[in-house]
A and B are shown apart, each in its own frame.
Chain A
Amino acid sequence: MAELLQVRNVNKHYGGVCALKNAHFALRTGEVHALIGENGAGKTTLSRIVAGSALADTANIAMDGRPATIASPVDAQRLGIGIIYQELDLFPNLTVGENLVIGNLHFREGRLVSPRRIEAFCRPFLDRVGLACGAGEVVAALSIGQKQLVAIARALSMNARILLMDEPTSSLFDDAVERLFGLIGELKRAGVSVVYISHKMDEIFRICDRATVLRDGETIGTVEIAATNATHANQDIRTRMIRMMVGRDLQMVPPPERRDPGEVLLAVEHLTTDKLRGVSFELRRGEVLGVAGLVGAGRSELGAALFGMDRIRSGAVRAHGSIGLVPEDRRLQGLMMRMSVLENCTIAVLPRMQRLGFIRHQQERRELEPLARRLGLDCDSTARPVNQLSGGNQQKALLARWLLRDPDVLFLDDPTRGIDVGAKQDIYGIVDELAAAGKGVILVSSELPELLRCCHRIMVLSEGRLTAIFDAKEATQENIMAAATTRDRRASPEARF
């Protein structure tokens, strides 16, 4: 098969953080090609560069064998490259039709907008993706699955030959996922090439022809998937891909030995907020409690409720001690990016480092120093602005802020997201230490192996409900996933958020 798109030698830095390092892949006509890798491996950045919504430091891109420059989304549109972002970049207050024609080079309109012309232009594409609603419907009123179909129709109406899809199933339910896979199959038969970004193995084995594995911003290799139907061959490839993704064999470290459960630090009873429904659990001294669940299941919202940031509608949170919260998004919710590492670490404990309102700078440094060593916080000077640090060191700085505060209960919301393997290990070590020191830790993670490695118990959320709590010994990836996808048939998915 001819190679439609060649992407080579892609490098990209965000501040001091290297996101992509000589990444490359090649896409054939009419294939479904997976970009796979752990969180932070650079999949999304690579796809954004191809779609023109991020600029690479360097990149050699060739379309149909001819060198191409993609400096903006319009360039990508001219080349026939469309992208469906994970967060679906639609205008919620415009209609379906307006969303399709806005910025669309293939829709020529006069000075006045005519709803009839928009409808006529959109109809074939809406039919093709199987969207029943009219072009005049406002996007905000649609379900997530329908919005995704609008985004796909938009890309098709721009005459896309290549469709990039970033984690398209992360917020979909089973039936919507099936519909999406059906549509991808049809597009493939019609000669459209799909780049499918995901870290879900099962999906990739179902619909993809080939997969390119990224790790820490580098392309590790490309694997053929399609031909293998035999289960054992399939299993071989799977193991090989996982090894490529994590850079090592997945060794199952046994869950940490559980000491005698201490006193109850945190008792949550029938906690209900806008996003949570009747969640009850206990956390004891010396315990690491994992929280698993799909995106939107209410994991971060649990932290917001415990920390007093979301309004509690009913139920009770009884805490015997202080609670600390390390938020999920360190850039948006965690760090003051223009301030120094030291200032970021001590900001939550300044009252105890002052005399008459004046900060005692020596005490600041004296308290941070041993902690920074223990965390392996790697920077030549803590006076440096925190935005010059790598993701892993930024995460450690954020962790240091709360370790200085020394709360009894620490809620860690996906603390290893987008950081390198070494930093991950350091953070696991800190979690172990905290538990050994008699703290209670709640650890949210999207990576099940991580939960199995760190936690004494794992609770699973689905659509704001607690669907299971497993002891470390009985927890497996399979039964956790099953509980995470359990859903309440009575509640319509549209009504959730």
Chain B
Amino acid sequence: MNEMLTIAMPKGRIFEEAADLLRDAGFRLPAEFDDSRKLIIDVEEENFRFILAKPMDVPTYVEHGVADLGIAGKDVMLEEERDVYELLDLHISACYLAVAGLPHTELNEIAPRIATKYPNVAAAYFREQGSQVEIIKLNGSIELAPIIGLTDRIVDIVSTGKTLVENGLVEYERIVDITSRLIVNPASYRLKDKRISELVERVQQVVKANLTVK
């Protein structure tokens, strides 16, 4: 029997898309994972264990080795800077990090403030631009900040831009493109080398095929 692989996954849409990738790569996963409240899902046929985590926490589980593999957005990788291997771009859940704010506004010169869920990425970006800003960390609904006057700008994920429009915000600068990545713990990468390499190889084929179709 193959040794077990533990895979940390973000809940929700990314999980579904990643599961599709694995199915396309020929892994026998159930057609549907019904109980959405479960935190751990075992797939005995393939000896996989999925851990369903908050997206921001996936690299943490992988770095500490309690998950061998993980699927994490590049946004999270940039923010967390964990010591893990980033092996594959899965080209799923494409989006980008952007600076946004209310239309026809400028960054306040006296108190330039940025609200974001990504304090490290935002700080690094504005430092590179040579502007000194105050970063205010929020945990969600970032769009609120400019509307209610907490900050003039936000740094957040944009996928379709719909959320921004709905809240009357516009995009000012595009920081970096984001897709989901397959990440691996360095110890697992050595000790479970054969299984992981095989999985990476198979998923890579599917990703390539998907890209040519598009």
Co-complex (A, B): no
* Interface positions of A (Cβ within 8 A of B): none
